[in-house]
Amino acid sequence: MPNVKVLNMAGAEVGEIALNDAVFAVEVSKAVLHSAVRAYLLNQRQGTQSTLTRSEVSGGGKKPWRQKGTGRARQGSTRSPQWTHGGIALGPKPRDYHVDLNKKVKRLALLGALSDKVAESAFVVIDTITATEYKTRVMADMLKAVNAGKKALVVFAEKNEMAVASCKNIPGVKTAYTNTLNVYDILNCDTVVIEKAATEKITEVYA
């Protein structure tokens, strides 16, 4: 079992925690991580983009000039795609980008992402993350004390509105609860800063 130091919000070591191999030391599959990240990003798309075809733009009912004798190319409508203000040929239309992932693949991807952060020593465990007031500086000082890097994912065990709100104005910092963790956010950050209770909850669910 990998052992990780437990720090307080000031960055001082206050203990140690043994992480479960079944959750934090699994073999990382790049193919599985790629599938999970791709599915996550595709599922964020609304798919509402739409362009107007020549049958949907207004105007163009009259033939601009007669078919023959003008020396110009024949035209049937001023709303054909080659005209300014004409319709769009082969443009995007609303579509569903949703991708489903097998539950076992989702699980393996999440555990692989967590294991990758632990292996890279980019997994910081804090005994308790608290905030007594809505103050960005409190969270910023904590992240600086634990050397979290420019991009950090702060994971809370339970609802903590004051601490979450205090993180909102810090550039590059995202927050999550144990039930909202996703592979993309874990891989996209430099450091995972997680409460000790959240680590135990993840172990309880996935071990």
Q: Would you say residue 1 has pLDDT above 80?
A: no
Domains of the chain, by residue range, sit at: 3-45+97-206, 46-96
Side-by-side strand order, sheet with 191-195? 13-18, 3-7, 123-126, 191-195, 152-156, 173-177
> pLDDT band at residue 143, thresholds of 50, 70 and 90?
very high
Per-chain mean pLDDT for the chain: 93
Task: Render pLDDT for 119-134 as a digit per residue (tens, 0 to 9).
Answer: 999 999 999 998 888 9
- The pLDDT tens digits of the residues spanning 30-76 come to 999 999 999 999 999 999 999 999 999 999 889 999 999 999 999 99
Asked if residue 18 has pLDDT above 80, the reply is yes
CATH of 3-45+97-206, one of 1.20.930.40, 3.40.47.10, 3.40.1370.10, 3.40.640.10: 3.40.1370.10
Spell out the alpha helix ranges (H) of the chain.
Answer: 21-24, 30-43, 103-119, 136-145, 161-167, 183-188, 196-206
How far are the Cα atoms of 14, 112, 187, 196, 206 from residue 134, in angstroms, in the given order? 26, 34, 28, 22, 33
Q: The whole model's pTM is what? A: 0.83
